[in-house]
Chain A
């Protein structure tokens, strides 16, 4: 058996996604977001995270999904990598789970989320999880600068 890693699983629309837990700083509730004029459309805005201002990315727009509807279950997953902190909106956080790396397959074709962000497809019993590539997810921010 191969190595096991922990993942945070969440829903975007009807699909279930997962990211490695190591990159997640925290998960926070939806709060008032301040719009940033002239920013790319997928930048939802900025929020106050205990005294620090962090940008929040609208994952629905970024991943070319249907428009997001904010509900009670909407959360912001805060990613941290060195000095970059960035938030990503999700519709529902399902659970934290362990996944054997043997159970992750390379993506062939996936609908919805652009291929570039995908690391593989994880299988847990009957569920299929789309595993997002951590570095790519964190680079979402950098790609803003690139444009």
Chain B
């Protein structure tokens, strides 16, 4: 069968499972006693194994199989959880990620990758051996006790199942081991097996099956399987339940007897008391999962893009209709246009919401990353994530990850001090890194904040001069904030030594340009010795924005409303010259002015006596943009200028107006 059509689905789902794997491993590292986490990890690894085997990615199946083996031993407490093992599991997860990535890129997995997998697990096995010995030594008595239990094939049961068995015996129930063989010619083995389960569950509880239930349902078994049934029924009754199912050629029913109940076994049960609940919750989460599958549909992002562009076209045509309506003044048309207006607005909101993804997707990567980085740098970090549920447009989500990674690395590397330094200055040795997302109106704000040493203005000054960003003479005239903002300039890096993490000269300027390209803004606040806070502001969606249309001579431009603080009218006489810079005094504050006509070299000479100023915000700074006329507020659908004209400064894109003509959207971030 051609599997290629399932590949995308496979990769997406495996990413999710990998995420679960990483999350639970992290949680387990913090709380090693929460053994139920092992189950989730196991399940994730198991699902990955099944999926990759189906897709024919044997190397992944092999690796996950090894992981399963290890996890199984942990679950059955044959092996104690140690840091070494957790690290191996982390390594395995990384390896899986690499493998998936290269498979996604269409590469076949190279041999050394597979070899690497073997290495991870060899070291694991060593750990396993050592740890296993330790367990044996320390838990010698309990080990013996387990061996002493008289279950039929006692080793086949894990502790939980053993617990269920003992409970059953206590209540005087029978335990049957039933081996079923299905005709070789049977076409739907899974269905027959399912009927066996259904019939048996009507008279008792199936506590275990070999192979596991999931595999049996997926027909992943030869012609034979085995189930353990706890029931108050006798052999005949059990047989009667099964005999009605066709295509079963043989069954063997054996009773399992519990031997001497020994006191140590009881101890064991007490230790594991919480397990039955856990079993319940396991079942319920599985059911929840199944329900959720029915409630959501996976849609290719390109289809959503298409939908969005269709809505975009609808909005354009709606604007055109409105235009016609104001020109014609027909009452009945007016009503219809208003209706269409409402519907389009609703449709737009719905489509926009469909494209929204919780930022959780991005945030979830960070605990793992911070853990690794902190270990590498020998720092102690408490990562706090807030507002994971905040939603952003899918395109923004895809792009925002890199800048955030950059900022977090920066905080860890340059911001937070080492535990020793922190103790010396009476700070909590554990540094705090807070990542916060929230929605404010039409914007999403992401804050990366640390309580480290902050940014040293003097160092910045020195570096900026060294790197020729500013002249010595300029330094004293600049305000502190302007100096700090120099860290966003290209070619600026304060790291004294080049580490793996940062200090390679590609720094915050990349972050800023990326965020600007998303029509967002980034700024920094810092207090020496107290910490640093980066604030990122992003528009909720990139596809359709509110914009103010302005006219300069004969040309129309759109300025995104998100950038605008206010607008005001202006007389030529109010403009003053300060050191060659034109300014206007607005409510006591000096506002630098820029004529859009000059910046965009709009043809036509005559200057009008009265004009308008659009006050925009660029980072911390307010700037006045002088235009001839304010035309009005409008919903604008952002079109790119295409590959050919991409990278133009000052222009964020183009939009199509009601009359079908094209107008350019101003990008405040790069206009000056």
A52 at the interface (CB under 8 A from B): yes
B-facing mask of A30-56, CB < 8 A → 1, else 0?
001011111100010011100111110
Closest chain A residue to B649, Cβ basis: A38
Q: At the interface with chain B, which of A17-25, A120-128, A137-145? A: A137-145
Q: Are B644 and A34 neighbours in the complex by a CB distance under 8 Å? A: no
Q: At the interface with chain B, which of A66-74, A78-86, A93-101? A: A78-86
Closest chain B residue to A138, Cβ basis: B644
Q: Are A53 and B644 neighbours in the complex by a CB distance under 8 Å? A: no
Return chain B residues, CB-CB under 8 Å to A144.
644-645
Q: Which of B608-661 contact A (CB under 8 A)?
A: 639-651, 653-654, 656, 660-661
A84/B644 contact (C-beta < 8 A), A51-B313, A53-B654 known: yes
Q: Are A53 and B640 neighbours in the complex by a CB distance under 8 Å? A: yes
Return chain B residues, CB-CB under 8 Å to A36.
641, 645, 648, 651, 664
A80 to chain B, nearest CB (A): 12
A144, B646: Cα distance in complex, Å: 9
Q: Which of A35, A46, A83 contacts B555 (CB 8 A)?
A: A35
Q: Are B641 and A55 neighbours in the complex by a CB distance under 8 Å? A: yes
Q: Are B645 and A48 neighbours in the complex by a CB distance under 8 Å? A: no
Q: Are A39 and B601 neighbours in the complex by a CB distance under 8 Å? A: no
Q: Are A84 and B661 neighbours in the complex by a CB distance under 8 Å? A: no
Return chain A residues, CB-CB under 8 Å to B664.
34, 36-37, 46
Q: How big is chain A's contact interface, by range?
A: 20 to 34
Q: Are B656 and A142 neighbours in the complex by a CB distance under 8 Å? A: no
Q: Are A46 and B600 neighbours in the complex by a CB distance under 8 Å? A: no
A39, B651: Cα distance in complex, Å: 10
Q: Are B647 and A84 neighbours in the complex by a CB distance under 8 Å? A: no
A48, B660: Cα distance in complex, Å: 7
Q: Are B650 and A145 neighbours in the complex by a CB distance under 8 Å? A: no
A32, B663: Cα distance in complex, Å: 11
Q: Which of A46, A85, A141, A142 contacts B654 (CB 8 A)?
A: A46
A36, B557: Cα distance in complex, Å: 11
Return chain B residues, CB-CB under 8 Å to A142.
643-644
Q: Are A34 and B639 neighbours in the complex by a CB distance under 8 Å? A: no
Return chain A residues, CB-CB under 8 Å to B351.
none
Q: Are B654 and A34 neighbours in the complex by a CB distance under 8 Å? A: yes
Q: Are A84 and B643 neighbours in the complex by a CB distance under 8 Å? A: yes
Closest chain A residue to B602, Cβ basis: A37
Closest chain B residue to A32, Cβ basis: B661
Q: Are A53 and B662 neighbours in the complex by a CB distance under 8 Å? A: yes
A55/B651 contact (C-beta < 8 A), A35-B555, A37-B600, A48-B656 known: no
Q: Are B650 and A53 neighbours in the complex by a CB distance under 8 Å? A: no
A52, B641: Cα distance in complex, Å: 9
B481 to chain A, nearest CB (A): 29
Q: Are A38 and B648 neighbours in the complex by a CB distance under 8 Å? A: yes
B386 to chain A, nearest CB (A): 39
Q: Which of A38, A46, A84 contacts B662 (CB 8 A)?
A: A46
Return chain B residues, CB-CB under 8 Å to A32.
661
Q: Are B650 and A37 neighbours in the complex by a CB distance under 8 Å? A: yes
A46, B662: Cα distance in complex, Å: 7
Q: Are B654 and A43 neighbours in the complex by a CB distance under 8 Å? A: no
Q: Are A55 and B644 neighbours in the complex by a CB distance under 8 Å? A: yes
Number of residue pairs spanning A and B whose beta carbons lie under 8 angstroms apart: 77
Return chain A residues, CB-CB under 8 Å to B603.
35
A35, B554: Cα distance in complex, Å: 11
B416 at the interface (CB under 8 A from A): no
B316 at the interface (CB under 8 A from A): yes
Q: Are B642 and A84 neighbours in the complex by a CB distance under 8 Å? A: yes
Q: Are A141 and B644 neighbours in the complex by a CB distance under 8 Å? A: yes
Interface centre among A32, A48, A86, A142 (most CB of B within 10 A): A48
Q: Are B643 and A141 neighbours in the complex by a CB distance under 8 Å? A: yes
Q: Which of B304-319 contact A (CB under 8 A)?
A: 309, 312-313, 316
Q: Which of B555, B599, B642 contacts A53 (CB 8 A)?
A: B642
Return chain A residues, CB-CB under 8 Å to B639.
52-53
Q: Are B645 and A39 neighbours in the complex by a CB distance under 8 Å? A: yes
A55/B660 contact (C-beta < 8 A), A36-B648, A37-B602 known: no
Q: Are B656 and A55 neighbours in the complex by a CB distance under 8 Å? A: no
Return chain A residues, CB-CB under 8 Å to B316.
51
Closest chain B residue to A141, Cβ basis: B644
A99, B660: Cα distance in complex, Å: 38
A126, B648: Cα distance in complex, Å: 45
A145/B662 contact (C-beta < 8 A), A36-B651, A37-B651, A46-B654 known: no
Q: Are A55 and B645 neighbours in the complex by a CB distance under 8 Å? A: yes
Return chain B residues, CB-CB under 8 Å to A38.
600-601, 648-651
Return chain B residues, CB-CB under 8 Å to A47.
662
A33 to chain B, nearest CB (A): 8
Return chain A residues, CB-CB under 8 Å to B661.
32, 34, 48
Return chain A residues, CB-CB under 8 Å to B600.
37-38
Closest chain A residue to B657, Cβ basis: A48
A42 to chain B, nearest CB (A): 12
B602 to chain A, nearest CB (A): 7
Q: Are B662 and A55 neighbours in the complex by a CB distance under 8 Å? A: no
Return chain B residues, CB-CB under 8 Å to A55.
641-642, 644-645
A36, B660: Cα distance in complex, Å: 17
A141 to chain B, nearest CB (A): 4
A39/B648 contact (C-beta < 8 A), A34-B661, A51-B313 known: yes
Closest chain B residue to A54, Cβ basis: B642
Q: Are B656 and A46 neighbours in the complex by a CB distance under 8 Å? A: no
Interface centre among B309, B653, B664 (most CB of A within 10 A): B664
Return chain A residues, CB-CB under 8 Å to B599.
37
B-facing mask of A108-147, CB < 8 A → 1, else 0?
0000000000000000000000000000000001101100
A95, B338: Cα distance in complex, Å: 47
Closest chain B residue to A84, Cβ basis: B643
Return chain A residues, CB-CB under 8 Å to B555.
34-35
Return chain A residues, CB-CB under 8 Å to B653.
53
A50 to chain B, nearest CB (A): 9
Closest chain A residue to B316, Cβ basis: A51
A144, B645: Cα distance in complex, Å: 7
A38, B664: Cα distance in complex, Å: 12
A86, B313: Cα distance in complex, Å: 20
Q: Are B649 and A86 neighbours in the complex by a CB distance under 8 Å? A: no
Return chain B residues, CB-CB under 8 Å to A34.
555, 654, 661-664
Return chain B residues, CB-CB under 8 Å to A48.
656, 660-662
Return chain B residues, CB-CB under 8 Å to A141.
642-644
Closest chain B residue to A143, Cβ basis: B644
Q: Are B602 and A46 neighbours in the complex by a CB distance under 8 Å? A: no
Return chain B residues, CB-CB under 8 Å to A145.
643-644, 646-647
A-facing mask of B3-32, CB < 8 A → 1, else 0?
000000000000000000000000000000
A36, B600: Cα distance in complex, Å: 9
Return chain A residues, CB-CB under 8 Å to B646.
145
A141, B643: Cα distance in complex, Å: 8
Give 6 A-B pairs besides A37-B664, A39-B648, A84-B642 with Cβ atoms closer than 8 angstroms: A34-B661, A34-B662, A34-B664, A55-B645, A83-B643, A142-B643
A interface residues (Cβ-Cβ under 8 A, vs B)? 32, 34-39, 43, 46-48, 51-55, 83-86, 141-142, 144-145
For the complex of A and B, the 8 pairs showing the least CB-CB separation, nearest first, are A141-B644, A37-B600, A34-B662, A53-B639, A53-B654, A51-B313, A48-B662, A55-B644
15 A–B contacts, CB within 8 A, in A order: A32-B661, A34-B661, A34-B662, A36-B651, A37-B599, A37-B600, A38-B601, A38-B648, A38-B649, A38-B651, A46-B654, A46-B662, A86-B642, A141-B643, A145-B646
